[in-house]
Structure 1
């Protein structure tokens, strides 16, 4: 769909970021990004902190910079910085057909 829209306009008009691919990359290689925990959320309920949002009654991790996820749905601030870097300068597997820096260079 992205390619079709761009073909209709004759230039790169739309780019799509694949946050799932990027999350998978971090989960498969957490040490390369400085994370130690990718399966348990930093703040939440249940054994994996995967239920509910972060509340005063939640379990809280000791160092959120080591965690990929803050709560059941949101990445930590540190993880979000990696996502933004991916959108700015990532490969076509992260942002298609080109990253934002390449788009701005036109």
Structure 2
């Protein structure tokens, strides 16, 4: 069953509850393909370590990082930077959460 159909079903079945879906795939794809449109310089490498593989515990105070994380989409191989999280939050409020505003 498609997720959007499940969300609709839950909204009909759960009285007093409003379930929303925030589809972020298209946003991420657009940012990775068009980083300059969002003010990023790098969307293919992470800011931490070599930028290619490290994540989480491998990125620590002893690991090299880029000079300006706000220019990168990703902090490590998996996690977005603080700036990208802000874009995600703004997008989510504008789209999925707009039903509450």
TM-score using structure 2 length: 0.77
Give 5+ residue unaligned stretches, structure 1: 91-98
Asked whether 1:70 is paired with 2:66, we answer no
Q: Where do 5+ consecutive residues of structure 2 fail to align? A: 1-5
Whole-Å separation in 2 of the counterparts to 1:86 and 1:31: 17
2-11 vs 79-88, greater mean Cα deviation: 2-11
Verify the 8 A CA contact 1:44 1:55 in the aligned structure 2: no
Equivalent residue, structure 1, for 2:3: none
- C-alpha distance 86-29 of structure 1, shift in aligned 2 (>3 A): same
RMSD, matched Cα = 2.1
Match of 1:52 among 55, 66, 76: 55
For 1:2, the equivalent position in structure 2 comes to 7
* Offset of residue 28 of structure 1: 1.6
Corresponding residue for 1:79? 84
Aligned 8 A contact 1:44 1:60 in 2: yes
- Output the TM-score relative to the length of structure 1: 0.74
CA separation in 2, counterparts of 1:29 and 1:12?
A: 37
The 3-state SS of whatever aligns with 2:75 is coil
